[in-house]
Structure 1
Amino acid sequence: MFNTQNIKKTFLQIFRQIKDFLLKPKSREFFIFLFFFFIASGFWFLQTLNEEYDTDFSIPLHLNNLPDNIVLTNDPVSALSVRVRDKGTVLMNYKLSRKLPPIELDYSQLAKQKQNHIQFSAVVLEKQILSKFNVSSKLLSIQPDSLEYIFAKGKGKRIPVSFRGKIEASQQYFVTDTIFEPDSVSIYAPSALLNQVDTAFTEETELLGLSDSTTIKIPLQYMKGVKFVPNYVILHLPTDIVTEKTVKVPLRGINFPQDKMLRTFPSYVEVTFQIGTRSFNTISEADFAINIDYWDLRSLEGDTYQIKITKAPSQAKKVRVWPTNVDFLIEKKTTQTND
């Protein structure tokens, strides 16, 4: 156990040692030197900042009020790089405490030129750029030196959304559904391009090791000359714990002539599948179908048929049957006559 008196004594001893060190003549000289060193450094730093320097800044460039049926068919510049000259103190203030607001371009102003291809010098924006800085700042250069916008009045249509990527649940879980919100989006594009696009794909996305139901916002894959509204979807991925279920499904003959009938050995097969615990009681043998076509049997050389599942619910995963093959006979129906 710690002794309180010993701890107090130790702290007092350390305090005296520090005090004796600071009060030594050499220590006082060292701290006096540091004091004047920091003062001199501060004056030197202020003097340096009082000189003029050139610094580059990036200013966002936004195009506003673009109608839904107007499509930008090129990749416009999203930011301007400008070089500014001013005193160091002013430039440091820009860097540390000010976030430069974007330059706003209005589509309605550009549309007054009544052209689909608009190109103009960035110097036109000089007044807007300078308004982001102090009066003392001088604008030296703007990059890029010209801006280009190519518009197309696009026709619109609705197309479905499809996921592009990989979705995997963790062990003992599986994803029961993929739900897009919305499940379709409007697209606008020139007529020639519009006819070529029938699906909106998401950006390549990997969602691995899912155990809980997940909701994620995914942007749609960019296509030059095509505008998606909206340009993203919300993907819902419900998950469930995996369990197995087995049902007995009868075999049914179809397309048989009226005077013929099918006999199989056995007359049913066991269908085993994985299902979520929440859907376990909602799936039964009635949700499955195994139809055996007469003409498929006629094309066989032997009397053994390989089972193919005709219908299965979407919730059932990793469906398998037993037995996988059955023997069959095609019999002629007997007709009864009345004496």
Structure 2
Amino acid sequence: MTSGNGITGNDRERKDGKEWMLLLLSILLAFIIWLLHSLSLQYSVFFEYNVELTSSLEGRSRSAASEDLLIVRGRSEGYYILRQRIGRRKTLKVNAPVTALVHKDGDAFSVTCENIKSNIVEALGGNVDLEFIVTESMDFNFPRMVSKRVPVAPRTSISFDGQYMPLGRIELRPDSVDIYGDARLLETVDSVMTMTISASGVDGPIQGISGLMPIRRVEFSEDNIYYSLNVVRYIEESVDVPVTSVGVPEDKDLIVFPSTVRITFRRIFSSTQYSPDDFVLAVDYADFIKTMESELVPELVSVPDGVISWEISPRYVDCILLDNNGGQ
């Protein structure tokens, strides 16, 4: 049917449906705006946390979890409160000085929450404006552990730009750490490794901080290691250097073939020029007598400053020992 104004029943139903849809969307939008506004406001509520306490008790585990709950009251934004209420109870990692821990019995220690209030505030990280702490004290078990000092080894994946190379080894500070754990387990650990230190196209000194590769049931005295590596630009050159013999008795002659070898070396990029006289290559009579071999590896006795690495060609020289009648 058509009404007096020319609108059919179907048209009116479609119009009413659109109006209801707009109304529902408006209500939903208003609810979202209200929710976002409410979550941005601050509220004073109670929070519950599990606590993992870290300390430096000598000869004991560095961290322990308490079965007691930490209950505090504080002000926080609705977003943070909502995150705390959803899912499993969150764990608060608190650092505490040894002086705050009271030994009860065996491995059991107790800590008064007011004594570590500043540490709790630091662990909350500014998310909660702490008003007061409900929990009076918490108990922790710090089992005894043996320790030993082991070196830290760098784990690297570093590539260098053309004509750049490291000058020396990568330096670590500290270069050794104390590890804690079961005695039998520590017997199998002779070093700890850094996380992989990665860099590519390096054309200058690098430095940074790296964590340590975790070892199951082993704790470290340090969490992070500072590393540095000096990187320089180099040029490659070659010189022919005579091979001398040292330590030869007066009545003997040690003849070397070939008498001259080529040294190919890398040096720090500079305008300095090197000559064969700047290098001293020698074979030792004592080494010849000990080995009784005719071939020896010449030793680079003297090398000028700025030379980083070198190779000798040929690698071995032949040696012949003769009597020197003139020396008698």
Is the alpha carbon distance of 1:261 and 1:186 closer, same or farther for their aligned partners in structure 2, counting shifts above 3 Å? Answer: same
1:222 alignment partner, one of 214, 219, 231 = 214
Is the alpha carbon distance of 1:61 and 1:172 closer, same or farther for their aligned partners in structure 2, counting shifts above 3 Å? Answer: farther
Q: Tell me, which stretches of 5 or more residues in structure 1 are unaligned?
A: 1-27, 50-56, 81-89, 119-127, 134-146
Map of 1:83 onto structure 2: none
- Say if 2:89 is the partner of 1:102: no
Work out whether residues 52 and 64 of structure 2, in 8 Å CA contact, stay in contact via their aligned partners in 1: no
Is the alpha carbon distance of 1:113 and 1:223 closer, same or farther for their aligned partners in structure 2, counting shifts above 3 Å? Answer: farther
Is the alpha carbon distance of 1:216 and 1:326 closer, same or farther for their aligned partners in structure 2, counting shifts above 3 Å? Answer: same
Map of 2:310 onto structure 1: 319
Map of 2:259 onto structure 1: 267
2:58 alignment partner, one of 69, 92, 103 = 69
Map of 1:202 onto structure 2: 194
Alpha-carbon shift at residue 241 of structure 1 (Å): 1.6
Deviations 1:105-158 (A, max 9, x none): 75667652332378xxxxxxxxx9xx999xxxxxxxxxxxxx98553254564x
Q: Within 5 Å, give how 1:26-175 maps onto structure 2.
A: 35-42=22-29, 61-64=51-54, 66-67=55-56, 69-72=58-61, 94-95=81-82, 102=92, 104=94, 106=96, 112-116=103-107, 149-154=141-146, 157=149, 159-175=150-166
Work out whether residues 219 and 233 of structure 1, in 8 Å CA contact, stay in contact via their aligned partners in 2: yes
TM-score w.r.t. length of structure 1: 0.56
Is the alpha carbon distance of 1:273 and 1:102 closer, same or farther for their aligned partners in structure 2, counting shifts above 3 Å? Answer: same
Work out whether residues 250 and 327 of structure 2, in 8 Å CA contact, stay in contact via their aligned partners in 1: no
2:269 alignment partner, one of 259, 266, 277 = 277
Alpha-carbon shift at residue 174 of structure 1 (Å): 1.1
Secondary structure of 2:144's aligned partner: strand
Given residue 273 of structure 1, which amino acid in structure 2 is its aligned partner?
A: F
Given residue 105 of structure 2, which amino acid in structure 1 is its aligned partner?
A: K
- In the alignment, the residues of structure 2 paired with residue 216 and residue 316 of structure 1 have an alpha-carbon distance, to the nearest angstrom, of 27
Is the alpha carbon distance of 1:183 and 1:105 closer, same or farther for their aligned partners in structure 2, counting shifts above 3 Å? Answer: closer
Map of 1:237 onto structure 2: 229
Per mean C-alpha deviation after superposition, the further-off stretch among 210-219 and 107-116 is 107-116
- In the alignment, the residues of structure 1 paired with residue 322 and residue 228 of structure 2 have an alpha-carbon distance, to the nearest angstrom, of 52
% identical aligned pairs: 16
- In the alignment, the residues of structure 2 paired with residue 108 and residue 197 of structure 1 have an alpha-carbon distance, to the nearest angstrom, of 31
Alpha-carbon shift at residue 194 of structure 1 (Å): 6.0
2:289 alignment partner, one of 281, 289, 295 = 295
Secondary structure of 2:105's aligned partner: coil
Is the alpha carbon distance of 1:105 and 1:273 closer, same or farther for their aligned partners in structure 2, counting shifts above 3 Å? Answer: closer
Is the alpha carbon distance of 1:227 and 1:46 closer, same or farther for their aligned partners in structure 2, counting shifts above 3 Å? Answer: closer
Deviations 1:46-79 (A, max 9, x none): 9999xxxxxxx99674414x12634428x8669x
Alpha-carbon shift at residue 211 of structure 1 (Å): 1.7
- In the alignment, the residues of structure 1 paired with residue 83 and residue 182 of structure 2 have an alpha-carbon distance, to the nearest angstrom, of 49
Is the alpha carbon distance of 1:37 and 1:320 closer, same or farther for their aligned partners in structure 2, counting shifts above 3 Å? Answer: same
Alpha-carbon shift at residue 270 of structure 1 (Å): 2.1
Work out whether residues 283 and 296 of structure 2, in 8 Å CA contact, stay in contact via their aligned partners in 1: no
- In the alignment, the residues of structure 2 paired with residue 245 and residue 47 of structure 1 have an alpha-carbon distance, to the nearest angstrom, of 75
1:189 alignment partner, one of 180, 184, 188 = 180
Deviations 1:233-255 (A, max 9, x none): 21112212220133444424356
Work out whether residues 151 and 177 of structure 2, in 8 Å CA contact, stay in contact via their aligned partners in 1: no
Alpha-carbon shift at residue 287 of structure 1 (Å): 6.4
